[in-house]
Structure 1
Amino acid sequence: MQKEKLKLGLIQTKQNRNYDFHDTEPMETIEEALENQKAMIEQTTRLMEEAGRQGCKLIVTPEAVNFPGLKRFHGGNLPDMVPDERDPLWDRWGKIAEQYGAYVVAGAYNKRNGESGSCPCFNSAFIYAPDGHRIHVYDKVHAGRDESIEPGDHFFVWDTPFGTIGVCICWDMQFPETARTLALMGAELIVVPTWGWEHLYAQARAYENGIFVAAAMGIPYEKPISGVRSPSQVIGPNGAVLAEASRDQAEVLVCEISLEECKSFREIRLGDRRPKLYL
């Protein structure tokens, strides 16, 4: 059966003061940090709805859109400032998926009760089906060195009428094993909620696995995207950049792709592997 074409909507947000990682002095109260957190959630949600109105059938946000700022900013503790499993935000995003008949991949910090009675925090991607139900919560496997989160313990792909889609988050993509594992699990497209997208490794991951890669990026506080960083992008299985957002504007990057196009590229890149010889 031929797969449907996919209209992809990548949400590119403009970060606020909670994301000013270069400031070394305490710069806000807990109340201000919570207001900034709320503002970012609202900005992201508005853009998600815009993507839905444009007919996008897969909507992806940046990572951790509810980031409350670092403890050194305001003295607050992460578990006290991020939502748990009962938070209405999760249902709100599910309703957007249902309203527009779209898959949604939304990046957010969250906390969950652990087996030992602890309540660890995770940097996750909440994945919704077009009927609004939550398919899965993927937890970032490779935690950054300054992230006070519990790392995930598995990778995830799911099947859609458009093809098989995999998900990872930001720092995960720095490791070639992440994309290769997802590709071997059948992913024809990897979507990446991120704050730190770099086209150099991104194009390599798409090319070396013969798959599509798409990232939703956030614009840093008080400056455009610069240096080695790249805006939100869609990259084809030949490594070419198919669509790219601006470096200084919050927006929805829309791109239509056919995941069937990666079939021959996947066969070339993955068909002659000799895994018994690999460490």
Structure 2
Amino acid sequence: MSYFTIAGVQMHALHHGDNTEAMRHRVDVLMSRFPQVQMVLFSELMPLGASPHHAQAMPSAAEAMFCQLAEQHRIWLIPGSMFERVGESVYNTLSVINPHGHVVARYRKQFPFLPYEAGVESGSEFVTFDVPNVGRFGVSICYDMWFPETTRTLAAMGAEVILHPTMTDTIDRDIELSIARTNAAVNQCYFFDINGAGALGNGRSIVVGPSGDVIHQAGTGEEVMPIEVDMNRVRRERETGLRGLGQPLKSFRDRRVDFSVYRSENGSAAFLDTLGPLAKPLRADIEEY
């Protein structure tokens, strides 16, 4: 099967609180209106809000509710992400749930939004999963996409669609829209960048095709976006090139350049070490008159 329908959900929710029942209602309404949908994707930290104090060990009661919801509607469900507690550590974790209500993968955000997402540990494992007879999907979360190596790695693992929940309520959302388009184009894949609305994001979710083309960009309010993707389009463009032109994945595979910056013993280049600590900017002292 080449065609597959994914619905991104951009919704208002509480910044600190339980939004799971509102999400359940949204899925019920969505599936009633658009029964062709096969996968539903929410934004980052939508279920329980943006405070690490709400972190839970997984599997959790919230995750179990989403498993029941996925099985009820026979859909793949990615309910955004939740803070996960593992001993003394907290991770920003995404669950992938199949139509049988089983968690088939969990992904821990590799790049917490430091220094602002303080107290959250970095994950270290890339995650892809296969939808049988459809194709391979990869997942990442919010700030991950600012690092091109993350999406490139998922593409190298065979991902044809990147599912990317985000929670952006800041003035850099316009830059993220460009990054989403770039990630899709240079990796020749679909890119679903789904943001929250209101307290959990300023909206403007975007769905991008494998040529970097904008399939849909949401406004700033609540919106449901059922999008049919064509896996054969990804495969064809990876074979013949973006618009019949550039073939970036093949060129990356066949490269002769050695990116030595990635082989530095301390993990960085000398110049990067001059940039100072990863910390919030402070207010400059102003002389009082």
Q: TM-score scaled by structure 2?
A: 0.77
Q: How does 1:148-167 map to 2 (within 5 A)?
A: 148-160=119-131, 161-167=133-139
Q: CA deviation at 1:68?
A: 4.5
Given that 2:12 and 2:196 are in contact with CA atoms closer than 8 Å, whether structure 1 keeps it comes out as yes
137-146 or 260-269: bigger deviation? 260-269
Question: Partner of 1:218: helix, strand, or coil?
Answer: coil
- Partner residue, 1:93: 66
Given that 1:11 and 1:253 are in contact with CA atoms closer than 8 Å, whether structure 2 keeps it comes out as yes
Instruction: Tell me, in whole angstroms, the C-alpha distance in 2 between the residues paired with 1:276 and 1:162.
Output: 33
| AA of the residue aligned to 2:258 | Y
258-267 or 235-244: bigger deviation? 258-267
Q: Which protein has greater RCO, CA pairs closer than 8 Å, 6+ apart?
A: 1
- Partner residue, 1:144: 113
- Partner residue, 2:250: 271
- Partner residue, 1:103: 76
| AA of the residue aligned to 2:100 | D
Given that 1:167 and 1:191 are in contact with CA atoms closer than 8 Å, whether structure 2 keeps it comes out as yes
Question: Partner of 1:207: helix, strand, or coil?
Answer: helix
| 2:100 is the alignment partner of 1:119 | no
Change (3 A) 1:68 1:165: closer
Q: How does 1:56-67 map to 2 (within 5 A)?
A: 56-67=37-48
Which residue, 3, 7, 20 being the options, matches 1:41?
20
- Partner residue, 1:182: 154
Which residue, 201, 217, 230 being the options, matches 1:258?
230
Instruction: Tell me, in whole angstroms, the C-alpha distance in 1 between the residues paired with 2:210 and 2:110.
Output: 24
Given that 1:11 and 1:60 are in contact with CA atoms closer than 8 Å, whether structure 2 keeps it comes out as yes
- Partner residue, 1:24: none
Given that 2:47 and 2:79 are in contact with CA atoms closer than 8 Å, whether structure 1 keeps it comes out as no
Instruction: Tell me, in whole angstroms, the C-alpha distance in 2 between the residues paired with 1:201 and 1:180.
Output: 13
Given that 1:47 and 1:251 are in contact with CA atoms closer than 8 Å, whether structure 2 keeps it comes out as no
Instruction: Tell me, in whole angstroms, the C-alpha distance in 2 between the residues paired with 1:68 and 1:262.
Output: 34
Number of matched residues? 240
- Partner residue, 2:284: none
- Partner residue, 1:211: 189
Which residue, 239, 247, 251 being the options, matches 2:220?
247
Given that 2:84 and 2:93 are in contact with CA atoms closer than 8 Å, whether structure 1 keeps it comes out as no
- Partner residue, 1:21: none
| AA of the residue aligned to 2:223 | E
Question: Partner of 1:271: helix, strand, or coil?
Answer: helix
- Partner residue, 1:232: 205
Instruction: Tell me, in whole angstroms, the C-alpha distance in 2 between the residues paired with 1:68 and 1:207.
Output: 32
Q: CA deviation at 1:87?
A: 2.6
What stretches of structure 2 of length at least 5 have no aligned partner? 240-246, 260-289
Q: Percent identity?
A: 25
| AA of the residue aligned to 1:278 | D
Over the residues paired in the alignment, what is the CA RMSD in angstroms? 2.1
- Partner residue, 1:13: 11
CA deviation vs aligned residue, 1:138-172 (integer Å, no higher than 9, x gap)? 00001111212111111111111321100000000
Change (3 A) 1:51 1:162: farther
Given that 2:55 and 2:85 are in contact with CA atoms closer than 8 Å, whether structure 1 keeps it comes out as no
Q: Which runs of 4+ in 1 moved over 4 A?
A: 67-70
Q: TM-score scaled by structure 1?
A: 0.79
Change (3 A) 1:216 1:50: farther
